[in-house]
Chain A
């Protein structure tokens, strides 16, 4: 049983990489499930159904529990003046590569922490660990998104410092993570030029809920039929206030703009 939130049972696995825990080991995991309950009462209006049955008015948001924990995470970030960024994209657009470059290039500029969401492996977390940043892995198993509860537990092992930057690499999937607020301040959606320029129209929720869109792999533009103007226009149709930065993580082109954006936050 988890003492913070009273959750019990099975669920995702959280591994703390490269950090000393009580056992002195390199990797420590524990599992958590979901067992949260609320205590708000709604007015139970009764009217006839079967004898002995009655109607209870519930009027409750299904994501209420997640949103509550997200607010709690957000409060924690605000108190410690931590910039938390939720990185979302379809698989393979370059989230991990962008993080590797960012952590290497900006080393020493701030304290960086990373939460890596992945369905099965620790491959991405190992890559991040190699840059020297503090990283925690969340394996969602069959789950296709992170939720606020997973992030809350992942943070417990991270010992975040004040004024730090926390990157949360979500599971590669443009649909499911859109619905789950993690308590982040900024949501950054990454697409790459090897995808269709109609991505924003196919997955509008993700673009609608993000504040920055990074278009990666611009070094490949000569070889692919991707129309970058059209992609940007499509993204703006979904979300007119979305900022757009074009980068290549391979050549480093455009990365300084991304670093400036980070600096401004």
Chain B
């Protein structure tokens, strides 16, 4: 359950920013979790429920953006959506890929009060 560590990392970031801004509460939090990360969303939700208790995120509304995977082929330069790390290039069937997008794991913004 590394999802718990991830939620704790998010709480740390939110608390630091809220404190710096002199906020009393975080009303909303906006996250980006790419589809190619190993974050399992069900595990994430249950970790969230447990870990935000008694923190500044306890009553926050959270929005999660799931960025789809995107890769470029290093052999033929095609660019295409990537669902799994083991998918081949649709043009040349090559596996030497560069991942452009889908690995994000970020706190984008907060709405503080």
Instruction: Judge whether B95 and A49 touch: CB under 8 Å.
Output: no
Instruction: Judge whether A58 and B113 touch: CB under 8 Å.
Output: no
Distance between Cα atoms of A141 and B1 in the complex (Å): 12
Distance between Cα atoms of A104 and B111 in the complex (Å): 57
Using a CB-CB cutoff of 8 Å, which residues 123-171 of chain A contact chain B? 142-145, 147
Distance between Cα atoms of A64 and B12 in the complex (Å): 11
Instruction: Judge whether A205 and B109 touch: CB under 8 Å.
Output: no
Size of B's binding interface in residues, CB under 8 A: 32
Instruction: Judge whether B110 and A52 touch: CB under 8 Å.
Output: no
Distance between Cα atoms of A50 and B111 in the complex (Å): 9
Instruction: Judge whether A176 and B1 touch: CB under 8 Å.
Output: yes
Is the CB of A236 closer than 8 A to any CB of chain B?
A: yes
Instruction: Judge whether A36 and B12 touch: CB under 8 Å.
Output: yes
Is the CB of B107 closer than 8 A to any CB of chain A?
A: yes
Instruction: Judge whether B85 and A238 touch: CB under 8 Å.
Output: yes
Instruction: Judge whether A62 and B111 touch: CB under 8 Å.
Output: no
Instruction: Judge whether A143 and B5 touch: CB under 8 Å.
Output: yes
Is the CB of A93 closer than 8 A to any CB of chain B?
A: no
Is the CB of A265 closer than 8 A to any CB of chain B?
A: no
Instruction: Judge whether B107 and A180 touch: CB under 8 Å.
Output: no
CB neighbours (8 Å) of B85 from chain A are 204-205, 208, 238
Are A62 and B6 also in contact (CB < 8 A) when A50-B27, A237-B95 are?
Answer: yes
Using a CB-CB cutoff of 8 Å, which residues 36-52 of chain A contact chain B? 36-38, 41, 44, 49-50, 52
Instruction: Judge whether A237 and B13 touch: CB under 8 Å.
Output: no
CB neighbours (8 Å) of A60 from chain B are 13, 106-107
Distance between Cα atoms of A180 and B20 in the complex (Å): 27
Instruction: Judge whether B110 and A62 touch: CB under 8 Å.
Output: no
Is the CB of B17 closer than 8 A to any CB of chain A?
A: yes
Instruction: Judge whether A34 and B86 touch: CB under 8 Å.
Output: no
Distance between Cα atoms of A66 and B107 in the complex (Å): 15
CB neighbours (8 Å) of A66 from chain B are 9
CB neighbours (8 Å) of A175 from chain B are 2, 38
Distance between Cα atoms of A238 and B95 in the complex (Å): 7
A195 to chain B, nearest CB (A): 17
A112 to chain B, nearest CB (A): 28
Is the CB of B16 closer than 8 A to any CB of chain A?
A: yes
Instruction: Judge whether A55 and B111 touch: CB under 8 Å.
Output: yes
Is the CB of A178 closer than 8 A to any CB of chain B?
A: yes
Which A residues have a C-beta under 8 Å from some C-beta of B? 34, 36-38, 41, 44, 49-50, 52-66, 142-145, 147, 175-176, 178-180, 200-201, 204-205, 208, 234, 236-238, 240-241
Pick the 10 closest A-B CB pairs, nearest first: A176-B2, A204-B85, A62-B9, A237-B86, A238-B86, A53-B113, A58-B107, A62-B105, A56-B110, A240-B95
